[in-house]
Amino acid sequence: MDDVLDVGSFCAVFLLLLLMLVLHSSLAPAPGVRIELPEVPPMPRPTSIAPELVVAIDQNGLIYFEHQVIGEKQLRDKLADRVAASKHPVQLVLMADENVRQGEVLRLATLAKRSGISEVIMAVRQPLFPTRPESQGTQ
């Protein structure tokens, strides 16, 4: 008796596995809040040993601190508590969706400064394909 492998059964199993993988990946939503940061050319980031706190604001204007939705008054209180508990000046990284109005971003930056934050850093994303720098002196 010849031991011949049936290619059809392997293809059927492979097709079923592929189908399950595709269905499972499309049905599972990505965890977290989607924030589209503005895209800017790369810039040197300030180097500091100061502790950083992160605040995010999504396109709907919801503010997030420590992975929780928070109101402005509670945020001001928590930031002031963190500044008081720190031995070093505290920096705030503000992750604002690119569709958020500039006034809301400035209001949050002002709130942070009034809470004792030493510096507010705006989070941005670098372009996926950076443009080549123009060569100076080309002929």
Domain ranges of the chain: 52-122
User: At CA 4, angle to CA 3 and CA 7, rounded to 5?
Assistant: 150
Helix (H, G, I), strand (E, B) or coil at 56: strand
| pLDDT average, residue stretch 39-57 | 74
| pLDDT average, residue stretch 93-114 | 92
Confirm whether pTM is higher than 0.85: no
Tracing tokens 């492979």 back to the chain, one arrives at 14
The alpha carbons of the chain give a radius of gyration, in whole angstroms, of 24
Residue 110 confidence (pLDDT) = 93
For 1-27, how does the pLDDT look when each residue is reduced to its tens digit (9 = 90+)? 566 778 888 888 989 988 888 777 655
Per CATH, which fold does 52-122 belong to?
A: Nucleotidyltransferase; domain 5 (3.30.420)
Residues 118-128, buried b or exposed e (16+ Cβ, 10 A)? eebbeebeeee
Side chain identity at 31, as an amino acid letter? Answer: P
